[in-house]
Amino acid sequence: MSALLEIRGLKKYFGLKRHLFQRRTRFVHALDGIDLDLMEGETLGVVGESGSGKSTLGRTIVRLEEPSAGSIRYLGRDVSALRGADAQAFRARIQMVFQDPYASLNPRLSVGHALAEPMLVHRKVAGRRAARQAVGALLGQVGLRPEMASSYPFAFSGGQRQRIGIARALALEPKILICDEAVSALDVSVQSQILNLFNQLKKALGLTYLFITHDLSVVRYVSDRVMVMYLGQVVELAPRDAFFARRLHPYTRALISAAPLVSTAPREARIILQGEIPNAIDPPSGCRFHTRCPNVMDACRRVEPQLREIEAGHHVRCHLYAAGQ
């Protein structure tokens, strides 16, 4: 497997509005140095508390946000440097499935129109008849009937809408799908149908997924690898089974203990994290987790731990696993 997407030192700072008498602009460190290789054909699950930067990561990859620093390479080409037609072509390679099936479809466009438009813009099809045929095929691919093309979104259920959203993301034949909480808004029964659809599509089309969710059972079901984010950084990244079996990082442990059913390892007492997630404007010094970590040590407050490969493919950012331990 080779890396489809190489992310290096990716940062995204959001400037807060500054008022007249304030010296410096303050920044939210939404992403603070992300390094990540997304492998062809894998599903990478991304978890973390609210505000940890998961969505920002996805949005920066699809260029809804401009990175503040760092690089994103797709098959070796730096995509943030792309302009004009090249940027358009890149758009087609990476697509996104949104969380809210109600807000992510334009209520004024028929399903057929919404699906045909990107194909026409990117000249994937020429002419209305070809477009209609392609739309029918797309709808079939996501388990809907081609006749539905003439309907408007209000006629569909949440699950059906999410299928339409997926069909739209597939219209440009992308290699990578970013799914940001793509099933969170759905009923549990519908969730599993959509998750199965994702798995089918992956097999049929050879897709690669970046699957963002806060639901560990979903991550467990779909992922090949799991990545944990905390305050804009990656704190643990590991193959799924090793991740759930080993749970090396204290934060991961706390997350999993809060959702005990997903763990294969013997249950342990629930670890309740103290306090709120600190604010991402002035992140804590040293280890960002030290304000809430049950295993906190002296060094944690002063020295920032680096993301290290502890075992084959298992990366952790924590002083507990410093060399030699």
Partner 1 sequence: MFQYIVMRVMKGGLTFLAAVSITFLIVRLMPGDPTTAFISDSMTPQDVQALNTSLGLDKPLPEQYALFLRNLAHFELGQSFFYKQPVGDIIAPRLGWTLLLIGTSLLITLLIGIPLGVHSARHKGKGVDQAVSTMIVLGISIFIPLLAFVLVYVFSLELGLTPVGGAFAPDVEDSELISDVARHMILPTVTLVVVNLAQIVLYTRSSMLDVLKEDYIRTARAKGVDDRGVIWGHALRNAMIPTVTVTGLMLGKMVAGAVLTETVFSWPGVGSMIYEAVQKQDFPLLQGAFIVLAFSVILMTLVTDLVVAWLDPRIKLHAESTR
Partner 2 sequence: MREKNFVESFTKHRLGMIGLAGIVIVIALGAFGPLIVTYPVGYNEATPLAAPDREHWLGTDGLGLGLIAEIVWGARTSLFISFTAVAVATCIGVPLGLVSGYFKGRIGGLIDSVIEIAMTIPALPLMILISAISGPSMGTVAVVIGLFSWPTLSRIVRNSTLKLASMPFIEAAIVLGIPTRTIMFKHILLNAAGPALVDLTIIMATAVLTEAGLSYLGLGDPNAWSWGGILQNAFRAGQHFHAWWLIVFPSLAIMFFVVSFNLLGLGINETLNPKRD
Measure the CA dihedral 324/252/57/159, to 10°: 150
Report 5-64 residues binding Mg ion (CB under 5 A): 55
Residues near partner 1 (CB under 8 A): 17, 19-21
* Tokens 């804590």 -> residue: 284
> Do 71 and 93 meet the contact criterion of CB atoms below 8 Å apart?
no
**Residue 100 binds which of partner 1, Mg ion, partner 2, none (CB < 5-8 A, kind-dependent):** partner 2
Residue 48 binds ligand ATP, judged by CB under 6 A:
yes
Residue 112 binds partner 2, judged by CB under 8 A:
no
Residue 11 binds ligand ATP, judged by CB under 6 A:
no
Burial 89-105 (b: 16+ CB within 10 A, else e): ebbbbbbbbbbebeebb
**Residue 314 binds which of ligand ATP, Mg ion, partner 1, none (CB < 5-8 A, kind-dependent):** none
**Residue 103 binds which of Mg ion, ligand SF4, partner 2, none (CB < 5-8 A, kind-dependent):** partner 2
Min dist CB 255 to ligand ATP, Å, is 13
DSSP state of 40: T
Min dist CB 99 to ligand ATP, Å, is 8
Residue 167 binds partner 2, judged by CB under 8 A:
no
* Residue ranges of E strands in the chain: 3-15, 27-39, 43-47, 69-74, 77-78, 94-97, 176-180, 208-212, 225-230, 233-239, 307-311, 314-317
Residues near ligand SF4 (CB under 6 A): 250, 287, 289-290, 293, 295-297, 300, 305, 318-320
**Residue 214 binds which of partner 1, partner 2, ligand ATP, none (CB < 5-8 A, kind-dependent):** ligand ATP
